[in-house]
Structure 1
Amino acid sequence: MRTYGTTPAVDSLLAESRRLVLAGDTNTALTALGRAQDLAPRNPEVLYQRGVLLSRTTFLRFGDVPRNFVAWRLLDRAAEIDPTNARYLLEIGRIRLLTPLLRAEAERVFRKALRVAEGNQDNPLIAEITWELGQIKERRYLTAKDRYMVTIAGLIFEPELAMYRRGYTREFLESNSRPIANIGATDRTEAEDLYRRGLAAVPTYEPSAIGLLGLLYDQRRYEEMRRVVQPFLDAGSGGANLRLAAGLAAYRLNDATAADSLFESGLRRFPEAERVEMTNLGRILRRRDSVSYDALSAADRRLTDSSYWEAADPLIETPENEARLEFLARIAAAQLRFTSGDLRQTGWRTDRGLILARYGEPPVIATFASDNAADAAETAGRITTVWYYPRKDRQFVFSGPPAMNYAIFAGPMRGLAEESREDAPFLLDNVIALRAIDSVSVQLSRFRGATDSTSQLVVAHAVDPRRLYGNVDLAEGSLFTSLYIGRPLNMRQVRRDTISVSLPASSMLSRTFVQGVPAGPLRVRVESTDANVSSAVARAHVELDIARARRDILELSDVMIAERVTSTDEPRAGWQSAGIVPRGDLTMTQREPFSVYWETYGLRPTPDQRFKAEVSFKVTLVEIDRANKQGAIRYLLDVADLVGLTREGNEELTVRFTREVPAGTTDRLPMVNTIGLGTSPAGLYRLDVIVTDLVSGQSARSARFFRVARS
């Protein structure tokens, strides 16, 4: 065995350099290796260690070219001295990768290294080399995938026009370009084969597993992803990114329980600081909310996180939080597809990772080849990548060098991302399973309770079984409805009901829950599900504040919109005793009259013990339904004058009347009236009720929004 001038002094310097590297002192380590080279200029291990340290402490920038050249010379010399050591060739190839023009040369060197490693049956080196070759092929595939060809000569996709011209992206993709089928497939297949060769050599070589997982994910081969990660999970191994990828595969296979466990397992494997930053809500909040969030203490931020995800959870009935799972799946996808060790790039920190976290994976991705025309400065020598979300006509454009898996916002797109953040900081509309949720119509009404610090909360809700059950071939459904109420982080199920639904259904299903609640901030959740029908899932989530009663001022309860009441008797004992049925669905058809119930508190009695008050109704057309055939009409027409409503202006109706009743034993005065809007146009309306105490002169107001639909 040749020693190449190895001496105790050289061995000592090599050991010292390794210790210094572990301590983070690379400059002193390089000095020690320089001294070792002076003592043994033909020692390949010294040349290798010095060359590797130089190359590993450089970046892809012009100023590092001389340093890379020295590293290459050292490693090339080591390979000449000991041509049977594939590791020297491997590092030469890695240096070649740092220079874009030498990537073809890098591939040639890697293949030479692979032949040497296979001749030596050096499985660990085979795994490393095939991974590097797989990376080259995968980068070429990523550069070519999703490629569109412009069909008009001389035309280019312009990021600025995408930002400022409405419909530009949709029109360009539909009319001025077309996708190229199967481009990049050969490179993808070769990359997959190379990653599998690496895993065959070393089944626990994680870089090859992650590379393979990324390719399988692009092709939606989720079951195969599971098979790739299973040996790692069985052995209790696998780092943070591999476990996130495993969770991503489980999530795409609708195995929410496994996905939740794997995501949490992956997050625990990150350093705490990175884990906190990765799951930070600031990136999916509006800027002003993000600033407030970042100013919180660590403890308050954790409470805010828990409160946010509790509110976002589509269904408390299920053990997993589907909204948070989708967020973590987006983080995992960004880590899997945009992370680059060569570029020191972490996937979720990239511009694409940011947009992915906020809006999910785009339904349409289009890449355009670089254009070297003089007027194409923005895209010259760069790949343009367009992410398009058709549902909201939302697009983001990125650009980056070919074969690098690196892209940043193109042109003014960073500004557009900030504008979109204010409009929609976090959307789940890309998740088909979640689109139907939040479909319970609900009306919440607060009335005074037995004490000043409690209230009676009336939760009227309605669901549309026609939408929930669709074309389900059943004669009857069983809809389970739950009411959850509580402080943030403390919602509890307080009511539940099961409704038998005759199918096919022809009308809305309505129910009312009544619950005593304390003063303070409150969350209210209504969930309706049928365990036997996957589409029968609906919910409503409302946050409100229950105020303490005040005895020193005039106050009104919420305005409750109810089914039409035929009796004219005053409901002195409350809405329930008067047979009032609150509406969960606050959409009325034209010509459909409805009743309005509210309670007035704090009226002052006259000397002869009577309450005297002036009541004003005001109905305002807030937004006309433009789909209405009478879309040009902006007037409230043909009022059903059940309480004397008169038109004041084009978009407002008012009525005033005086109410005088015996004072009774409390200062609570329930009131009910019935109104109708005749053939007034379909749209959104606001009903204001204003009560003025004719004794004290005080006034109070309460309002309710409702809709009128076309008959």
Structure 2
Amino acid sequence: MITMFGTSVRATRLALVLLLPVTLAAQPMAPQPTRQSIAQIADSVAAIGDTARAVALLDSAVRRDKRDAASWHQLGLLLWNQARSARNPDIMKDQKKIRMLIAADTSLRLATKLAPDSGRFWLSLSRFNLQSGVSTMRFASTGQAREVMTAAERVNDKVMLAEAADMAGMGAWRRYDAQANRGLPTGFSKIVVPSGMERRLARDYVNTIANKIEPPTGDADHAEALDLFSRAVGADSSNLMYSRHLYMAYVERKRWTDVVTVASMRARQFPLDFQSQLALGLAYHRLANEKGATIAFDSAFALMDDNEANRLKNLVRIMRPRPRANLKGTEQVADSASWARLPSSQREGLEAMFWMMSDPLALTQENEFRLEFLARVVYADFRWTVDDLNLRGADTDRGDVYVRYGPPDFEMTIPGSTTDGRQRLDGEVTLFWDYTNSFTFFFDLKPGYATGRLALFDRDYVERLNDVAPVSFANVPVTRLLDTIPMRIARFRSGADSTDALIAALVPIDSLVRGNVLERVPVDIDLRVFDQFVRVRGMESDQLTFARDSSAGSLGRLWSRRLGPGINVVRVEALQGDSKRGARAMARLDPATNVGFGMSDVLLGNKPELRSGVVTPSRWRDIAITPSVGSYARGSSLGLLWEMYDLVPKDGQTKYRVAITVERADRDGVAGFTLRVLDNLGRAVGRAQQSRDRFTISFDRQGGALPVLVEYLSLDMTQAPSGGYRMRVEVTDLANQKKTARNTEFRIR
């Protein structure tokens, strides 16, 4: 009866359709609504915030049909999302959320068992295990990611394939991170650095614990990770995380030309991809293409937002962690705490000043130290960023050390952590970094996480090191070819807001031309004066040639420059362009008081004399003296010249007292010395007070009622031994007993 009724209804419907006019029959029929599954309904309910009802729907569904894979999958996702915040790699205390995570794990696993061909289900399980606080579960996510790859290839889902390949690649990378550069233990001892051990002996100590395996371990895991990252980028080239992981694998093995190839291709494919420009900047710098590195970094910062650019360029990364008591005035911004309190506009100006002061040679077009800093930050971000833990590489412990001190000269991993007392049963790894300058660092690595923290016993040492030596650029090649130019600057008032600077320098020509193949070797010599806004306020350059076997030794140069108000920076440099040998001197001159009672710097030189035709000197230019950089042959006399300003006249004259104190800076060797102060006529002046290594002569003088008085004397130290000396010249205005003084140093060869 039921069958006949169903047949009758279908026949009636067919007859009605046949009787419809042709025009109506041609119109499309309204689509029938697709019935939603319980999983889809639960997802919609959860989306509006009613998670409890969604879980209840799914729970009922899987109780009715234990083979409902979609409902098991959706239930696992909801439970995981509810308990995600409580997940901790160390310990969990919330029992309710522990039960939720256990249920989520069970649900997601059942979904993959019931629908083993579903790449989406395998992907969720892999993500879930990757968020686990247990290393074995994190490693298990790698195999599950490979199941996703198989399913994605079957249906040609490139987006899913790319994500799965990247996840599998990170699984291989986590194995590599803990296994690379492994040392073979020589016994059962663990790394425990003895208190007070000299760090220069640290490598010897570590070598008693383990011997580094050669060639270095980890090649197979690295090759697997690199292959998987390449597949991920090939399947989805638009994803920045996948490409960053590919760069990570290349930079770890210093495959800079491969980085250039990949990054150049991506830069052409995605013109707005700042990450490819960062990779190019890093690779070009390591390949010594500093021009290309500068262009790439500048392009990257132009493409990225201000927050990211400021994060990468932040000078806090190489500053002291706290202020130092012996730093005064504006130099206090050398610590991160003071820097953070400055307004952004002031930080930008000080950042420009910092890099100008740090530039090894202004004669070259690039700032090698700034490029090295940026290259280190980019490398650290590529190498140690862990996306699933929201860690940025440059902000990790390894990243911080790398940015401050550069790539280690030696590294080795040793089984066992430095903090667990269970010998080598903890499963963790100790990473040791050593630098040729005796800096050493120990990290605890946790397998399965690709993370590392400074060893507990090492943290006090690192904190002290950051305070004493916050940064080192010793790995930059230019530092090994850079000599020092002795320089001395004396400033004299020239107006209410300016000073005249006399700059003496001794250029080491012999070190610049030594070993050159040219018969006549060109050397560029350059003077530049910068103001507090890092603008060039004066520049003088010339090129001289010298015989390659020249015995000229050092070349003395002298400049006179007018300096404006505020901070001024004076740089004197020399560069031999073919060999890239250079030399430099640099001085930061803080603002000087140009009004009221005071004195100029003390200019050191040979014996000073009045210029021809001058009876009474009115300014320093009236005295003939050859300035010195502060180095004298034994038996020589020292010439002193300075000016005094705005002494108070009395009865048409000014009266003042001069006290010259000289003391030995080198207290070892011969004890005691003698000296005499000679006036412009060669007569000894003053009353002497002498001790073992200190000599003071004071005398009274008088001059006209003038705003500027010039004093010039000779210091006879023919009997003084070789070594370093400190000198203080103090002037007292006898009309009001006001004092002013200048300190300087010199050396007798």
Instruction: Name the TM tier (shorter chain).
Output: 0.7 to 0.9
Q: Does 1:256 align with 2:256?
A: no
Q: How does 1:288-299 map to 2 (within 5 A)?
A: 288=323, 289-299=335-345
Q: 1:694 to 1:94 in 2, by over 3 A?
A: closer
Q: How far is 1:269 from its partner?
A: 6.3
More off after superposition, 135-144 vs 270-279: 270-279
2:601 corresponds to which residue?
Answer: 558
Instruction: Show structure 2 runs of 5+ residues with no match.
Output: 1-32, 324-334, 679-683
More off after superposition, 283-292 vs 691-700: 691-700
Q: How does 1:519-558 map to 2 (within 5 A)?
A: 519-550=565-596, 553=597, 555-558=598-601
2:27 corresponds to which residue?
Answer: none
CA contact (8 A) 1:55 1:68 kept: yes
Q: 1:564 to 1:384 in 2, by over 3 A?
A: farther
Q: Does 1:650 align with 2:692?
A: yes
SS at match of 2:166: helix
Q: Does 1:115 align with 2:158?
A: no
Q: 1:126 to 1:160 in 2, by over 3 A?
A: farther
1:130 corresponds to which residue?
Answer: 165
Give the alignment's TM-score, normalised by structure 1. 0.85
Q: Does 1:335 align with 2:353?
A: no
Determine the C-alpha separation between the residues in 1 that align with 2:266 and 2:51. 35
2:662 corresponds to which residue?
Answer: 619
Q: How does 1:166-177 map to 2 (within 5 A)?
A: 166-173=199-206, 177=210
Q: 1:107 to 1:694 in 2, by over 3 A?
A: closer
Q: How far is 1:455 from its partner?
A: 1.6
1:144 corresponds to which residue?
Answer: 179
Determine the C-alpha separation between the residues in 1 that align with 2:476 and 2:425. 32
1:383 corresponds to which residue?
Answer: 429
Determine the C-alpha separation between the residues in 1 that align with 2:416 and 2:506. 55
Which residue of 443, 446, 449 maps to 2:488? 443
C-alpha offsets along residues 221-257 of structure 1, whole Å, 9 cap, x if unaligned? 1010111222321122675555433321122122334
Which residue of 468, 473, 484 maps to 2:517? 473
Determine the C-alpha separation between the residues in 1 that align with 2:478 and 2:73. 55
CA contact (8 A) 1:463 1:509 kept: yes
Determine the C-alpha separation between the residues in 1 that align with 2:456 and 2:288. 38
Which residue of 474, 478, 486 maps to 1:433? 478
CA contact (8 A) 1:384 1:399 kept: yes
Determine the C-alpha separation between the residues in 1 that align with 2:311 and 2:235. 36
Which residue of 586, 608, 623 maps to 1:578? 623
CA contact (8 A) 1:309 1:324 kept: yes
Q: Does 1:675 align with 2:711?
A: no
Q: 1:436 to 1:603 in 2, by over 3 A?
A: farther
SS at match of 1:195: helix
Which residue of 349, 354, 362 maps to 1:303? 349
C-alpha offsets along residues 497-545 of structure 1, whole Å, 9 cap, x if unaligned? 3141313343212222212223433232333334444223534242322
SS at match of 2:126: helix
More off after superposition, 536-545 vs 563-572: 563-572
Q: How far is 1:680 from its partner?
A: 1.7
2:252 corresponds to which residue?
Answer: 218
Which residue of 90, 98, 104 maps to 1:71? 104
Q: How far is 1:679 from its partner?
A: 5.3
Q: 1:496 to 1:571 in 2, by over 3 A?
A: farther
Determine the C-alpha separation between the residues in 2 that align with 1:96 and 1:672. 82
Q: 1:270 to 1:490 in 2, by over 3 A?
A: closer
Amino acid at match of 2:696: T
Determine the C-alpha separation between the residues in 1 that align with 2:484 and 2:149. 59
C-alpha offsets along residues 583-637 of structure 1, whole Å, 9 cap, x if unaligned? 2x33334434332221223345564x5655443321112245xxxxxxx425244
Q: Does 1:186 align with 2:186?
A: no
1:347 corresponds to which residue?
Answer: 393
Q: How far is 1:347 from its partner?
A: 1.0
Determine the C-alpha separation between the residues in 1 that align with 2:208 and 2:619. 63
Determine the C-alpha separation between the residues in 1 that align with 2:633 and 2:75. 82
Q: How does 1:348-363 map to 2 (within 5 A)?
A: 348-363=394-409
Q: How far is 1:417 from its partner?
A: 2.5
Question: What percent of counterpart residues are identical?
Answer: 22
Amino acid at match of 2:253: Q
Q: 1:203 to 1:482 in 2, by over 3 A?
A: same
Amino acid at match of 1:285: M
Q: How far is 1:565 from its partner?
A: 4.7
Q: Does 1:246 align with 2:280?
A: yes
Determine the C-alpha separation between the residues in 2 that align with 1:243 and 1:497. 34
Q: How far is 1:694 from its partner?
A: 5.0
Amino acid at match of 1:463: V
Q: 1:244 to 1:560 in 2, by over 3 A?
A: same
Q: Does 1:7 align with 2:35?
A: yes
C-alpha offsets along residues 90-147 of structure 1, whole Å, 9 cap, x if unaligned? 3323333433224554343333333333333333333222222221222222112233
Amino acid at match of 2:663: T
Q: Does 1:51 align with 2:76?
A: yes
Amino acid at match of 1:187: D
2:125 corresponds to which residue?
Answer: 92
CA contact (8 A) 1:636 1:647 kept: no
CA contact (8 A) 1:637 1:679 kept: yes
Amino acid at match of 2:604: I
SS at match of 2:624: coil
1:628 corresponds to which residue?
Answer: none
Q: 1:407 to 1:655 in 2, by over 3 A?
A: same
Q: How far is 1:11 from its partner?
A: 8.0
1:158 corresponds to which residue?
Answer: 192
Q: Does 1:457 align with 2:501?
A: yes
Which residue of 495, 505, 511 maps to 2:557? 511
Determine the C-alpha separation between the residues in 2 that align with 1:158 and 1:425. 25
Q: Does 1:703 align with 2:749?
A: no
Q: 1:93 to 1:481 in 2, by over 3 A?
A: same
Determine the C-alpha separation between the residues in 2 that align with 1:587 and 1:53. 78
Larger radius of gyration: 2
Q: How far is 1:409 from its partner?
A: 1.7
Determine the C-alpha separation between the residues in 1 that align with 2:441 and 2:153. 45
CA contact (8 A) 1:689 1:703 kept: yes
SS at match of 1:83: coil
SS at match of 2:451: coil
Amino acid at match of 2:174: R
SS at match of 2:128: helix
Determine the C-alpha separation between the residues in 2 that align with 1:389 and 1:223. 26
C-alpha offsets along residues 343-362 of structure 1, whole Å, 9 cap, x if unaligned? 22221221222222222222
Q: How far is 1:198 from its partner?
A: 3.0
Q: Does 1:688 align with 2:728?
A: yes
SS at match of 2:617: coil
CA contact (8 A) 1:17 1:33 kept: no
Q: Alignment length, in residue pairs?
A: 681
More off after superposition, 639-648 vs 693-702: 639-648
SS at match of 1:520: coil
CA contact (8 A) 2:163 2:232 kept: yes
Q: 1:38 to 1:148 in 2, by over 3 A?
A: same
Determine the C-alpha separation between the residues in 2 that align with 1:18 and 1:196. 37
Determine the C-alpha separation between the residues in 2 that align with 1:588 and 1:87. 81
Amino acid at match of 1:132: M
Give the alignment's TM-score, normalised by structure 2. 0.81
Q: 1:146 to 1:644 in 2, by over 3 A?
A: farther
Q: 1:372 to 1:355 in 2, by over 3 A?
A: closer
